[in-house]
């Protein structure tokens, strides 16, 4: 069986630019056939249902081997969830998009050292919880901006790898800020 | 197959059933829509619910056992699973009595933020009670199902679920019958019980006392008094009670203003969590249609106002916040068992799952808010030459160091043939099933040394124990559900009558006349085996005695009268 990548699984073009609404609609439509609860209702018709939705591929990244313990419907549902979860996340999608091109985000980069340092510094000066929440909101906006800026250079993979470093940094910094705010009190 | 939905709550539980496409609460014995999650072990059989409250005694009564699920705690030599199983068995039997048919299976709800161990403990409790678990679903999700299908309205909703023991906030999108959970967050140790403790502490402080001076019985009485004062302030501006401490009268008083001060401390935390969930969901607050209010705490007007003010959103509270979770669970049970899918549910992993690596950091494998079912793989290797085993510590939580997260399992993969460090290729697969429960398998790739682990709660049942339980469940199966139901209701009613007769002199004279007359009718109904009449009179008597529950409980606990100030009952 020919394996499909995450984009092919949803029948959308391989691109960092993503129409989230469209992807979500396709995802929900496929899940309503593939999900273990839904496929129970389809029983005999299930195979036909999967075919019509083009759900015959397996998850290449997981290198899935068929085994009896995992019912087929659950496997498909899992594949759709893994793929959807990856594509909907700006950082994971960047990593996956690069992986499809045999590339990865640079480990260490001097390009954005100043920006990264500035973000850390600024966070260090914040005192109150509301300041930190505002900062978190700013970072969320900045992530969205970075996502657009990456999409703009997806034709130039060297530049893409470079910019993705900052995206990944903001992503993990956001996690740190969130944890900090969440664990107060 | 007959299925029900069960909301196994910290302070109260509820059951619901779908009939002709409509989800309805099963009022246990036709009396109340919720059953207190209280178990009394004073007799040689467990007594659950309201009767357990009547019989409350700190040396044999368990409250809020849900808070201890997934831990090693024991109460009167029983595990939290066993105690929960007694509650579940009571609920199942009650449903069978009301519906007059055997119940095979159920959807049981758990807080969205329940850890893996807590979920497994809940599943185990169900199997001890002889209930097949169709699915464990998250409480806020169940509420959204009940609410969403009720309204038939597509859109994005927040669910604010503030119950007796836990707080959850979830954001869901409903479109064309698919419920997609976008993000969830919460605190499994934040609920009405904490507010009750804070009220007690406040009142003790006002009387120059401290909670550490109270023994178990006094503490229990104080908490029960605080709880009932809190509930009264839903309708009243102020209330007061007498609390007797070592023969001294203490005056407990509480105004709505002070209650609101206390509650605000807790509601601030809930709103902080909700803000984070909004940020996680990446949903713009303007795109949210409204917030569904769930859980007993949302009956407090201040809480509803705080949510509305904070988000500037409409609050949906048309459905009873104490019933909505069970209603949704029943709808989902019906949907799964009838294979007539009118709603599909895609929930998420509440907490990040990972493995402790060298240096104590966490390698995150499945991130929070990942849709379920999901599976992820990782590869590890040996770090010493000729290392023959690897020990894995599986953790759950958001912190970067394993010691700050919950350790939920550890297992060892042994028999790795000796080879140089870094040569072995150990593949670890995490999968989270539709119940939100984690399964792990690990194997050495080149040599096929493998190990599968379903992460289990600590106190595992032996095979013998399991057989025993299955046999008990078998003998408990109803040959004739209706007849059997009558027998248990009769026995319960007889017990209740002797209890009521023993406390009837505590009532006012007029009430005594009414109660004694009703008890006479109830006895006649018992004698004539008139089931309908029996239920009717039980309800009538319970309503009379309910008004004096505090006094009755107080007496049992202290052996002295807890004077109840008459004006506090004017509602």
Q: In the sheet where B47-48 sits, what is the strand order?
A: B47-48, B39-40, B61-62
Q: Which of A114-123, B129-138, B380-389, B483-492 has the lowest mean pLDDT?
A: B483-492
Q: Which of B119-128, B416-425, B442-451, B470-479 has the highest mean pLDDT?
A: B119-128
Q: Is pLDDT above 90 for B38? A: yes
Residue A183: CB atoms within 10 A of its CB come to 10
Chain A residues with CB under 8 Å of B351 CB are: none
Chain B residues with CB under 8 Å of A140 CB are: 279, 282
The residue of B279, B377, B441, B445 whose CB has the most chain A CBs within 10 angstroms, and thus the best one to mutate to test that interface, is: B279
Q: Where are the alpha helices (DSSP H) in A35-156?
A: 36-42, 46-52, 72-88, 90-100, 113-125, 129-152
Long-range contact list for B410-414, CB < 8 A, 24+ apart?
A: B411/B440, B411/B442, B411/B451, B411/B453, B412/B451, B413/B389, B413/B442, B413/B443, B413/B444, B413/B449, B413/B450, B413/B451, B414/B388, B414/B389, B414/B449
B289, B272, B369, A84 alpha-carbon torsion, rounded to 10°: 50
Which of B269, B344, B431 shows the shortest C-beta gap to A31? B344
Of B130, B100, B132, the residue nearest B26 (C-alpha): B100
Which pLDDT score, from 0 to 100, does residue B25 have? 93
Rounded to 5 degrees, φ, ψ at B562 are -95, 105
Percent of chain A with pLDDT over 90: 41
Chain A residues with CB under 8 Å of B336 CB are: 37, 40
Cβ separation of A179 and B336 shorter than 8 Å? no
User: Could you say which residues from 84 to 113 on chain A have a Cβ atom under 8 Å away from some Cβ of chain B?
Assistant: 84-85
Which pLDDT score, from 0 to 100, does residue B399 have? 82
Higher pLDDT, B415 or B187: B187
Cα distance between residue B80 and residue B68, in whole Å: 6
Cβ separation of B339 and A182 shorter than 8 Å? no
Cβ separation of A85 and B370 shorter than 8 Å? yes
Break chain A into its structural domains and give their ranges.
6-88, 105-182
Q: How far is B316 from chain A (nearest CA, A)?
A: 26
Q: Is pLDDT above 80 for B321? A: yes
Cα distance between residue A21 and residue B173, in whole Å: 12
Which pLDDT score, from 0 to 100, does residue A73 have? 62
Q: Is pLDDT above 70 for A36? A: yes
Which pLDDT score, from 0 to 100, does residue B262 have? 94
Higher pLDDT, B216 or B293: B293
User: Could you say which residues from 425 to 454 on chain B have a Cβ atom under 8 Å away from some Cβ of chain A?
Assistant: 431, 433-434
Cβ separation of A74 and B373 shorter than 8 Å? yes
Residue B284: band (very low, low, confident or very high) from pLDDT cuts 50, 70, 90: confident
Q: Is pLDDT above 90 for A92? A: yes
- Here the tokens at position B250 are 């203490």
Which pLDDT score, from 0 to 100, does residue A62 have? 36
Cβ separation of B339 and A78 shorter than 8 Å? no
Percent of chain B with pLDDT over 90: 37
CB B271 within 8 A of CB B307: yes
Cβ separation of A62 and B398 shorter than 8 Å? no
Cβ separation of B373 and A40 shorter than 8 Å? no
Number of inter-chain CB pairs under 8 A, A vs B? 82
Cβ separation of A81 and B372 shorter than 8 Å? yes
Q: pLDDT tens digit string along A102-145?
A: 988 877 667 788 888 899 899 889 888 888 888 988 998 999 99
Percent of chain A with pLDDT over 70: 75
Percent of chain B with pLDDT over 70: 87
Q: Quick one: average pLDDT of B273-300? A: 90
Q: Quick one: average pLDDT of B381-410? A: 85
DSSP-derived letter for residue B78 is B
Residue B407: band (very low, low, confident or very high) from pLDDT cuts 50, 70, 90: confident
Cβ separation of B336 and A40 shorter than 8 Å? yes
Q: Which of A61-75, B392-406, B523-537 has the lowest mean pLDDT?
A: A61-75
| Chain A residue with Cα closest to B366 | A82
Which pLDDT score, from 0 to 100, does residue B455 have? 54
Which pLDDT score, from 0 to 100, does residue B163 have? 92
Q: Quick one: average pLDDT of B203-213? A: 90
Which pLDDT score, from 0 to 100, does residue A149 have? 93
Which pLDDT score, from 0 to 100, does residue B354 have? 94
A14–B contact, CB cutoff 8 A: no
Q: pLDDT tens digit string along B210-247?
A: 888 888 888 888 888 898 899 888 888 999 888 888 87
Q: Which of A66-70, B317-321, B474-478 has the highest mean pLDDT?
A: B317-321
Chain B residues with CB under 8 Å of A183 CB are: 399
- Here the tokens at position B310 are 């904070």
Q: How far is B210 from chain A (nearest CA, A)?
A: 23
Q: pLDDT tens digit string along B165-179?
A: 899 999 999 887 789
Q: Is pLDDT above 50 for A70? A: no
**Average predicted confidence (pLDDT) for chain B:** 83
CB A31 within 8 A of CB A57: no
Chain A residues with CB under 8 Å of B375 CB are: 62, 78, 82
Which pLDDT score, from 0 to 100, does residue A32 have? 86
B401: left (phi over 0), alpha (psi -120 to 50) or beta: beta
A82–B contact, CB cutoff 8 A: yes
| Chain A residue with Cα closest to B272 | A182
- Here the tokens at position B391 are 């020990």
Q: Which of B22-31, B75-84, B257-266 has the lowest mean pLDDT?
A: B22-31
In CATH, what class is B3-191+262-346? Answer: alpha beta
Q: Quick one: average pLDDT of A22-47? A: 74
- Here the tokens at position B539 are 């309800």
Q: Is pLDDT above 50 for B505? A: yes
- Cβ-proximal residues to B271 (8 Å cutoff; 6+ apart), any chain: B306, B307, B310
CATH of domain A105-182: 1.20.1280
Alpha-carbon Rg for chain B, nearest whole angstrom, is 25
| Chain A residue with Cα closest to B404 | A183
Residue A54: band (very low, low, confident or very high) from pLDDT cuts 50, 70, 90: very low
Chain A residues with CB under 8 Å of B431 CB are: 78
Higher pLDDT, B325 or B27: B325
Question: Tokens 């505002």 map to which residue?
Answer: A134
Complex confidence, ipTM: 0.81
Alpha-carbon Rg for chain A, nearest whole angstrom, is 20
In CATH, what class is B481-569? Answer: mainly alpha
Which pLDDT score, from 0 to 100, does residue B557 have? 58
Q: Which of A35-39, B3-7, B453-457 has the highest mean pLDDT?
A: B3-7
Residue B484: band (very low, low, confident or very high) from pLDDT cuts 50, 70, 90: low
Which pLDDT score, from 0 to 100, does residue B559 have? 44
Q: Is pLDDT above 80 for A17? A: yes
Higher pLDDT, B548 or B257: B257
Q: pLDDT tens digit string along B414-460?
A: 878 888 888 888 889 999 988 888 888 888 877 666 666 555 433 33
Residue B248: band (very low, low, confident or very high) from pLDDT cuts 50, 70, 90: confident
Query: Which helix (H) or strand (E) covers residue B62, if one does?
Result: strand B61-62
Break chain B into its structural domains and give their ranges.
3-191+262-346, 353-454, 481-569
In CATH, what class is B353-454? Answer: mainly beta
Higher pLDDT, B360 or B475: B360
Which pLDDT score, from 0 to 100, does residue B162 have? 95
């Amino acid at each position: 069986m020919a394996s499909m990548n995450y984009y092919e699984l949803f029948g959308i073009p391989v691109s960092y630019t993503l129409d989230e609404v469209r992807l979500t609609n396709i995802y929900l439509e496929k899940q309503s056939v593939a999900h273990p609860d839904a496929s129970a209702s389809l029983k005999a018709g299930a195979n036909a249902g999967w075919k019509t939705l083009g759900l015959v591929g397996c998850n290449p990244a997981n290198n899935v081997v068929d085994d009896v313990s995992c019912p087929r419907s659950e496997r498909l549902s899992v594949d759709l969830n893994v793929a959807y979860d990856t594509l909907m996340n700006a950082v994971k999608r960047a990593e996956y998009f690069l992986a499809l091109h045999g590339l990865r985000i640079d480990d260490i980069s001097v390009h954005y050292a100043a920006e990264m340092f500035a973000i850390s510094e600024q966070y260090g000066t914040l005192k109150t919880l509301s300041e930190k929440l505002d900062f978190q909101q700013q970072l969320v906006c900045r992530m969205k901006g970075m996502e657009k800026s990456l999409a703009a250079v997806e034709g130039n993979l060297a530049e893409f790898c470079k910019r993705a470093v900052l995206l990944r940094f903001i992503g993990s910094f956001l996690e740190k800020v969130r944890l900090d705010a969440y664990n107060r009190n | 197959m007959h299925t029900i939905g069960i909301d196994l709550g910290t302070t109260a539980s509820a059951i619901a059933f779908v009939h002709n496409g409509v989800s309805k609460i099963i009022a246990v014995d036709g009396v109340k829509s919720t059953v207190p999650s209280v178990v009394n072990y004073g007799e040689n059989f467990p007594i659950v619910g309201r009767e357990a409250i009547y019989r409350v005694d700190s040396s044999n009564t368990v409250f809020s056992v849900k808070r201890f699920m997934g831990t090693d705690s024991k109460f009167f030599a029983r595990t939290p699973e066993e105690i929960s199983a007694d509650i579940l068995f009571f609920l199942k039997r009650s449903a069978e009595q009301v519906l007059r048919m055997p119940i095979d299976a159920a959807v049981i709800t758990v807080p969205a933020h329940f850890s893996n161990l807590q979920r497994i403990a809940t599943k185990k409790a169900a199997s001890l009670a002889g209930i097949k678990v169709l699915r464990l679903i998250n409480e806020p999700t169940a509420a959204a199902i009940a609410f969403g299908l009720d309204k038939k309205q597509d859109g994005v909703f927040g669910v604010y679920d503030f119950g007796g023991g836990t707080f959850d906030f979830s954001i869901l999108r409903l479109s064309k019958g698919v419920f997609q959970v976008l993000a969830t967050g919460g605190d499994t140790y934040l609920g009405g019980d904490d507010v009750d403790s804070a009220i007690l502490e406040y009142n003790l402080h006002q009387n120059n006392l401290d909670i550490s001076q109270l023994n178990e019985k006094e503490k229990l009485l104080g908490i029960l008094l605080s709880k009932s004062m809190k509930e009264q302030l839903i309708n009243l501006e102020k209330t007061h009670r007498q609390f007797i401490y070592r023969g001294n009268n203490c005056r407990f008083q509480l105004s709505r203003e002070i209650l609101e001060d206390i509650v605000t401390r807790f509601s601030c935390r809930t709103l902080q969590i909700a803000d984070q969930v909004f940020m996680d969901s990446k949903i713009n607050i303007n795109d949210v249609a409204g917030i569904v209010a769930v859980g007993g705490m949302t009956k407090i007007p201040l809480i509803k106002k705080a949510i509305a003010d904070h988000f500037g959103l409409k609050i949906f509270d048309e459905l009873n916040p104490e019933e909505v979770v069970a209603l949704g669970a029943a709808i989902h049970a019906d949907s799964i068992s009838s294979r007539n899918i009118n709603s599909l549910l895609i929930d998420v992993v509440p907490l990040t799952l990972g493995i402790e690596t060298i240096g104590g950091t966490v390698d995150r494998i499945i991130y929070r808010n990942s849709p379920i079912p999901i599976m992820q793989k990782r590869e590890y290797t040996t770090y010493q030459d000729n290392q023959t085993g690897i020990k894995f510590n599986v953790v759950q939580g958001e912190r970067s160091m394993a010691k700050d997260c919950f350790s939920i399992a550890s297992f060892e993969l042994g028999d790795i043939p000796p080879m140089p460090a870094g040569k072995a290729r150990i593949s670890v697969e995490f999968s989270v099933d539709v119940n939100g429960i984690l399964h792990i398998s690990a194997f050495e790739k080149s040599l096929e040394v493998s190990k599968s682990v379903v992460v289990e709660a600590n106190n595992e049942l032996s095979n013998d124990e399991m057989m025993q339980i299955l046999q008990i469940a078998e003998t408990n199966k109803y040959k004739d559900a209706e007849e059997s139901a009558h027998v248990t209701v009769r026995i319960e009613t007889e017990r209740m009558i002797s209890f009521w007769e023993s406390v009837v002199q505590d009532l006012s004279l007029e009430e005594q006349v009414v109660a004694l007359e009703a008890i006479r009718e109830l006895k006649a109904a018992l004698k004539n085996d008139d089931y309908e009449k029996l239920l009717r009179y039980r309800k009538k008597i319970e309503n009379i005695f309910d008004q004096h529950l505090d006094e009755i409980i107080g007496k049992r606990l202290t052996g002295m009268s807890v004077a109840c100030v008459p004006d506090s009952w004017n509602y």
